[in-house]
Amino acid sequence: MCFNPGSKVTYQPIQCVSSLVQECFEDAFERIPVAGQMDLRTAIQETQCALNLVLNNKFNEALELLKPWYRDSMYHALGYSSILVMKAAMTFEHQDIQVAMATIKDALNTCQKFRKRSSVVGSLSKLVSMQSHGGAPEEEIHAELCYAECLLQKATLTFVQDENMISFIKGGIKIRTSYQIYKECQNMLNANQDQAASSDSFTQFEGGVKLGIGSFNLMLSLLPQRILRLLEFIGFSGNRNFGLSQLMEGSANHSLRSILSALTLLFYHTYVSLILGTGEGDLVEAEALLEPYQQKYPKGSIILFYTARISALRGDFEQCQSAGGGGGDCPVLCSGGQLSSIT
């Protein structure tokens, strides 16, 4: 099936999209025609397809899938900007950073369209009392989640773009705002746990909250105690065990962000815990997290990277070289210019 950005095909999500998404989930090479309308469920499905394409090294195809709707759909905007931010963070090229920063601003504007207009961060608490998550409230809570993720990406680019005190302060403010949004989302999630099993949309929301809260707690727990106490004074918290448990639950959530939770845990077990001297990484857990994705994306550069890393940590350098394609060194993430070839 050819992907035609100019197509005006309209389809029924329940019948046509489900079958196409299942095919896309298996090999990540199918295309979904551009829809005449885009609802939240379809947007999440198409973003899942784009993520599968990325994990199969098909970066340009993923961008093609997301681009037609990235100014009108919060999930398309988030996915589209995430790929360009990843490229900028890997290449450190000035042009890539500028393109990614402009795209992030567009993504934030797209998410803002769906947020509760008369509110600031604290207004999310008003949504807790809502009995139904259909219609506008459902889009609003997902918009808060996507907005928080885009803010984190913009903060990352702010640090990369210009290493001065003003950029550091701006990035810190964005991180704090993102953290506050995640905390409000967590409060809403805790107050509505009874709906998690009955709503796929709420399951997706739960996966995003666990990824954000888990990553924040894990990241902050790695800071020196003196700095952590200062950050706690302004509202942050860093509990390593809680962060790890949230990420584990998120990786088992079967949502769009499940693999992102798994990759965060893999990075912690295979790099962070060793570099910062926080203890030995749990390689058994790392292998268990990686195994299902090795079967699903056997040639994906990110998956091969972690396969080689675990083999190197176990001292199996032959397997490490095999995962890297038989070269003399273990593979570098997204080697071979795959990211630099994104147009």
Neighbours of 232 (CB within 10 A): 12
Measure the CA angle with vertex 234, ends 232 and 235; round to 5°. Answer: 65
d(CA 265, CA 285) in angstroms, rounded, equals 9
Tokens of 34: 């551009």
Helix (H, G, I), strand (E, B) or coil at 256: coil
Give the orientation angle of helix 258-267 with respect to helix 283-296, to 10 degrees.
Answer: 140
pLDDT at 124 over 60: no
- As a whole number of angstroms, the distance between CA 184 and CA 173 comes to 17
Listed range (57-61, 74-78, 327-331, 336-340) with the worst mean pLDDT: 327-331
217 in Cβ contact with 223 (< 8 Å): no
Instruction: Give per-residue pLDDT as tens, 259-308.
Output: 999 999 999 999 988 888 766 678 999 999 999 999 999 999 999 999 99
Q: What is the pLDDT of residues 165-176, one digit of tens each?
A: 788 888 888 999
Confidence band, pLDDT 50/70/90 cuts, at residue 196: low
Average of per-residue pLDDT values in the chain = 80
Termini Cα distance of the chain:
22
Q: Please check whether residue 253 is in contact with residue 212, taking contact to mean a CB–CB distance below 8 angstroms.
A: no
Share of the chain above pLDDT 70, in %: 75
| pLDDT score at 138 | 85
338 phi and psi, to 5 degrees? -65, -40
In this predicted structure, the answer to whether residue 256 has a pLDDT above a threshold of 70 is yes
CA angle 275, 280, 282 (to 5 degrees): 115
Mean per-residue pLDDT, 148-158: 91
Question: How many CB atoms are located within 10 Å of the residue 161 CB?
Answer: 18
Lowest mean pLDDT among 50-54, 72-76, 146-150, 322-326: 322-326
In b/e form, how buried is each residue of 59-98, taking b as 16+ CB within 10 angstroms? bebbbbbbebbbeebbbbbbbbbbbbbbbbbbbeeeebbe
Q: Is the pLDDT of residue 19 over 50?
A: no
Out of 2-11, 226-235, 246-255, 297-306, which region has the weakest mean confidence (pLDDT)? 2-11
pLDDT at 154 exceeding the cut of 60: yes
| Count of Cβ atoms closer than 10 Å to residue 274 Cβ | 14
pLDDT in tens, 198-213: 688 889 999 999 999 9
pLDDT-based confidence at residue 192 (cuts at 50, 70, 90) = confident
